[in-house]
Amino acid sequence: MNFVAEALNLSPSAAKRLEERNILRRALISHNFFSDVLDAFKLDKKFGEFEEGTVIAKTTDGFEVVRGYPKIRRALTFYPTIKRHFRDKVVIEEKMNGYNTRIVLFGKNIYAITRRGFFCPYTTERAREIVNDDFFKDYPELMLCCEAVGSESPFVVKDIYGKGIDFYVFDIREKKTNKPMPIRFKEYVSEEYGFKIVPILEICTKEAAHVKCIEIVKELGEKGREGIVLKDPEMEIPPIKYTSSQSNAADLNYAFRFFNDYGKDFMLSRIVREGFQSFEFNENDEEMDERCKRLGVAILKPMIESIKEVSKGNKVVENHRLRFKDREVLDLFKIQLKKMGVEAEFSEPYFEDGYHILEFKRIMVSTTDKISHILKGNLW
Ligand code: ATP
Ligand code: MG
């Protein structure tokens, strides 16, 4: 563990504090699938300038620091927020709804790291198959910050982005410093190396952006898409995010299905967003009624379904299906999920079209237990 202090350039006292506060955790399971990494830790909390999810690794090449992906602040209104926040031009990108993945090169292979800093065996195997690693031969010091989206997701299952899983680059950053590259570099790299990048929907002046944003968010919402991220073309100003009403409703639907596993903040913030959006979109009665209905359905319907499930003696679960090339990676992934604190019931893997297929049910333990407790006649 001594390499951590050295890699982060910490004074002995700062290193000691890191240990005392217990914010370092092992980031991977040792296995020859991770052969370039001798040992790795992740930060479970922000520490000094280092974001939560920062990874410190001892590799066959030396030390590596991969900074955590920074928080993106949320706009609740477009006007006057955009005008105040940005400098000149604003890039409007689609916000895709999957899970955050940093892809880096260590030694001879690429590695996929989750938002919280775990080396994910599943994501790493998929990335090695899908992502062109020539990029890293030319830019070994950079990381690709991607949204991993699709139906075969261990974390965020969505059909709208297609079957399987795919990677869409949204930022390119220096892994050691977190310095983001300009948007045009991302576009160039995507052409040059054939990456998919998140759609760039519009580039406009900060004065005109709020009108455009309302239009775009309405359209995206109707297509079941999550929302937008607004960025400075040079990436010198922190980006801000904004989500569609349909996406807020989808989140609430999810959160209330698993109401005891999700924080109250998660729910409240999504409801508050709807209030500001309705106000700014200047809705007529019909539109407002539609929004109210959408919100009400999202909150109540899934919860009622969960209660029904448990009343029948079942657990509240979420279904997943993933594919693996290598059976050992599949087993590694199962161990990894446990380390992440996910409770799951796995079915026996089967072989199909060259892949080992793993199906599992993620069990929402807290919600299941709570409902069961109440149905037995206990008080809240
Ligand atoms: P935060 O980033 O604020 O901590 P969070 O973890 O709750 O928030 P989200 O609300 O999903 O996450 O919003 C930020 C995330 O959106 C990013 O971490 C990234 O994974 C994802 N994302 C999708 N599309 C983009 C995009 N075009 N630009 C930046 N991030 C994007
Ligand atoms: Mg997200």
C-alpha to C-alpha distance for 378 and 157, rounded to whole angstroms: 34
User: Is there a contact between 167 and 43 (Cβ–Cβ < 8 Å)?
Assistant: no
Q: Which atom of ligand 1 is nearest to the CA of 94?
A: 27
C-alpha to C-alpha distance for 323 and 372, rounded to whole angstroms: 33
Same domain, 231 and 272: no
Which residue's CA is the closest to the ligand 1 atom numbered 27?
A: 95
What's 217's domain CATH number?
3.30.1490.70
Burial profile 305-322: b = 16 or more Cβ within 10 angstroms, e = fewer: ebbebbeeeebbbbebeb
Return the pLDDT at 18: 84
Same domain, 252 and 270: yes
Q: What angle do CA 329, 335, 341 make, to 5 degrees?
A: 135
User: Looking at the predicted structure, is the pLDDT value of residue 27 above 70?
Assistant: yes
Q: Which ligand is nearest to the CA of 145?
A: 1
Q: Which of 95, 187, 225 is the best mutation target for the ligand 1 pocket, counting ligand atoms within 8 Å of the beta carbon and taking the most? A: 95
Task: Give the 3-state secondary structure of residue 379.
Answer: coil
On whether residue 311 sits in a domain, the answer given is no
Amino acid (1-letter code) at residue 165 = I
What's 353's domain CATH number?
3.30.70.2160
Q: Among 11-15, 289-293, 372-376, where is mean pLDDT lowest?
A: 11-15
Tens digit of pLDDT for each residue in 149-186?
999 999 999 999 999 999 999 999 999 999 999 999 99
User: Looking at the predicted structure, is the pLDDT value of residue 1 above 80?
Assistant: no
User: Looking at the predicted structure, is the pLDDT value of residue 335 above 90?
Assistant: yes
C-alpha to C-alpha distance for 161 and 153, rounded to whole angstroms: 11
Task: Give the 3-state secondary structure of residue 307.
Answer: helix
On whether residue 312 sits in a domain, the answer given is no
Same domain, 331 and 215: no
On whether residue 301 sits in a domain, the answer given is yes
CA of 237 to the centre of ligand 2 (A): 20
Domain of residue 222 covers 73-95+201-242
φ and ψ of 123, to 5 deg: -65, -40
User: Looking at the predicted structure, is the pLDDT value of residue 2 above 80?
Assistant: no
CA of 259 to the centre of ligand 1 (A): 22
Same domain, 172 and 218: no
User: Hey, how many other C-beta atoms are within 10 angstroms of the C-beta on 64?
Assistant: 21
C-alpha to C-alpha distance for 301 and 291, rounded to whole angstroms: 15
Q: Which of 149, 169, 229, 244 is the best mutation target for the ligand 1 pocket, counting ligand atoms within 8 Å of the beta carbon and taking the most? A: 229
Which residue's CA is the closest to the ligand 1 atom numbered 6?
A: 71
Q: Among 44-48, 77-81, 211-215, where is mean pLDDT lowest?
A: 44-48
User: Looking at the predicted structure, is the pLDDT value of residue 263 above 90?
Assistant: no
Same domain, 349 and 363: yes
Same domain, 18 and 164: yes
Which residue's CA is the closest to the ligand 1 atom numbered 20?
A: 100
Which residue's CA is the closest to the ligand 1 atom numbered 5?
A: 71
Same domain, 272 and 293: yes
Tens digit of pLDDT for each residue in 242-256?
999 999 999 999 999
Percent of the chain at pLDDT above 70? 100
Q: Which of 100, 149, 269 is the best mutation target for the ligand 1 pocket, counting ligand atoms within 8 Å of the beta carbon and taking the most? A: 100
C-alpha to C-alpha distance for 174 and 235, rounded to whole angstroms: 13
User: Looking at the predicted structure, is the pLDDT value of residue 326 above 70?
Assistant: yes
What's 255's domain CATH number?
1.20.58.2250
Same domain, 116 and 157: yes
Q: Which atom of ligand 1 is nearest to the CA of 74?
A: 3
On whether residue 227 sits in a domain, the answer given is yes
Return the pLDDT at 224: 96
Tens digit of pLDDT for each residue in 66-122?
999 999 999 999 999 999 999 999 999 999 999 999 999 999 999 999 999 999 999
Tens digit of pLDDT for each residue in 127-137?
999 999 999 99
Total tally of structural domains belonging to the chain: 4
Q: Which atom of ligand 1 is nearest to the CA of 73?
A: 3
On whether residue 380 sits in a domain, the answer given is no
Percent of the chain at pLDDT above 90? 93
Beta pairing partners, 309: none
User: Looking at the predicted structure, is the pLDDT value of residue 52 above 90?
Assistant: yes
User: Looking at the predicted structure, is the pLDDT value of residue 351 above 70?
Assistant: yes
Same domain, 52 and 121: yes
Task: Give the 3-state secondary structure of residue 75.
Answer: coil
Pocket of ligand 1 (CB under 6 A): 69, 71-72, 93, 95-96, 100, 147, 170, 198, 229, 241
Q: Which atom of ligand 1 is nearest to the CA of 101?
A: 20
Q: Which atom of ligand 1 is nearest to the CA of 231?
A: 28
Quick one: which of 177, 91, 172, 163 has its CA closest to 139? 172
Amino acid (1-letter code) at residue 208 = A
CA of 97 to the centre of ligand 2 (A): 5
Q: Which ligand is nearest to the CA of 69?
A: 1
